[in-house]
Structure 1
């Protein structure tokens, strides 16, 4: 990185999560904030000041601010409904994008953005921040040593009183939280989901309008099972925000409580797996990975093609909970692909979508990119 000047970024979104990102940008010497976009200009100015850059331009219009600042990349820290238009504007301006999860509000929009990344040759990376956890990396190493995994389980139990929009959401646990565990399960198992059966419900004492509890059984490739048991209204004996994990394999089992180093028992002895490179810490790790990918042309964890399946898991689980039936993941993908083709108005993006044969296969390969600088 030393041979490059800091990556010049414009951040879109200066709300609560935006402020966390602005603080992270300010702390990273490989990044320079050159502009802030928000519909609320006062929030944009306050965000710039928080980042230690009170004189940088602010505005409501992303393309205009990109032209004014000569930015090299965009951070999309907006609400999910805005992810598609903001990321599209940035990609069409010829700039790579790092966005907050989920990739988009719907799977169809996420597929559209994956096709746009192909059409423009630009990187679109989704910050699935809980992948950037060295304990999760170590847990995967323990799981790899089990000699084949039969099942992976996550128990999640928290009781947060957020107030505001979350307490009025439909499917609040599955939509707003479970994607972290689903994405981590894909990372740990190094396989993709095939189908799911899910039930969701709302206990009588819940302070959420939508279902705050869910139990899902995913079948992954190689007939591996992933079981998620979660609640957002479970006071007492709460788990880590990362959940409590256990994997069972041919030679033993591995466990991680979400907050401390994982462990395993293999052939009746404590497991001692090989170490692995650190991933960094949450959004700071995601930002560092993005900068490295832009500079080198490597594919980071969270590149949109590799991230979409985590959002698909959420949609499939919700569809199963509402229908009471097992849902096949490829059916969700194909339906979303048909929707994306129907509504897409950009000719180049529609052409890329139409060129995909199997959507699953299209997502399995990230497009080639030319490194910056």
Structure 2
């Protein structure tokens, strides 16, 4: 089909996140919603009807008999592997909600399937899109050569979710911190080497398990990323995007997590207001992720967030959790190596297993092959 034709997209998952995605998909002029898939057919029909799409419904991707270029996978993380692989096997590209999968091993298997079938699988890390983060990244490039020596983010919120989140182990790291970790990779243009992480749960917490965490990520050379956050911090809350500071030779750049970016140079005192950086409008959140995905489908270029690139962000989460459990420094390569080993043991498709077997280097650290994705649409 022509690159100028609307992308024919199936929404998979008719829950709350699916509803948000369907509103965005239905409003986009370059998207045609051609189906809604959910194990609960009544829920799928209700969602399709509420959005006025008139799209057919099905319980699973194999049961969907319409033509489509891609799916948006808005199912629960435990279903991401099965749903994404089913779509890839049928020649469809995939835009998958974060996290790519509950484990590194499953994310690696998804990446192998994308390579075998020659289709794009992109993870929607929605908080890496938006005007504020783009302006912050540009200021880091302009004033610090794109390589901050010290990057710091602070995340303090006090949501009362109720339900499963308040029962989860490692809730902050698993459910939220991946956004900040992924943004740190975007801002530094590099992948971390190791992490030390500590978790805690204060006396007043309404969570069953640790809802606060601090982590120090080592990046190549002397660069460091410091994360601190809490789900139980009432008062003076930060943006959902966190509050950021990038320190380089001769300058500090701050971002409030929204639309305020300032550059501070020299040895100014704490009263230094800095120079404001213009923040032009840009698509953000899942709208931003969709724009990047559609552009990649049309151009055939590999986008930020492609699953092999995104695995490093998921590895940061898994390494931080492992460090918090053991109270030891954890090397990211060890997490990736272990994940690849599990993926090899659990993969039952010969073609995908062959790809997994090839994803290793002489020193044992896994690599994930070429990032060239062909034949997207």
TM-score by length of 2: 0.93
CA distance in 1, matches of 2:67, 2:181: 37
Displacement after TM superposition at 1:268 (Å): 6.0
User: Who is 1:33 aligned against?
Assistant: 33
Structure 1 residue 335 corresponds to structure 2 residue 332: no
Query: 1:160-309 counterparts in 2 under 5 A?
Result: 160-267=159-266, 270=274, 280-309=283-312
CA distance in 2, matches of 1:80, 1:162: 18
Q: Deviations over 1:313-359 (max 9, x none)?
A: 00000000000100000000000000000000011110000011238
- Aligned 8 A contact 1:97 1:124 in 2: yes
Displacement after TM superposition at 1:292 (Å): 1.3
The match for 1:74 among 68, 71, 74 is 71
Displacement after TM superposition at 1:209 (Å): 1.2
CA distance in 1, matches of 2:41, 2:276: 53
Q: 1:218 to 1:117 in 2, by over 3 A?
A: same
Task: Provide structure 1 residue ranges, at least 5 long, that are not aligned to the other structure.
Answer: none
Q: 1:3 to 1:321 in 2, by over 3 A?
A: closer
CA distance in 1, matches of 2:371, 2:290: 19
Displacement after TM superposition at 1:143 (Å): 1.6
- Aligned 8 A contact 1:127 1:286 in 2: yes
Structure 1 residue 6 corresponds to structure 2 residue 9: no
Moved more, 96-105 or 358-367: 358-367
The match for 1:367 among 369, 372, 376 is 372
User: Who is 1:110 aligned against?
Assistant: 107
Moved more, 35-44 or 178-187: 35-44
> Which runs of at least 4 in structure 1 moved beyond 3 Å after TM superposition?
267-273, 275-279, 358-361
The match for 1:347 among 346, 350, 362 is 350
Moved more, 234-243 or 56-65: 56-65
CA distance in 1, matches of 2:61, 2:216: 42
User: Who is 1:153 aligned against?
Assistant: 152
Task: Provide structure 2 residue ranges, at least 5 long, that are not aligned to the other structure.
Answer: 269-273
CA distance in 2, matches of 1:356, 1:173: 31
CA distance in 1, matches of 2:319, 2:151: 18
Moved more, 216-225 or 81-90: 216-225
Aligned length: 368
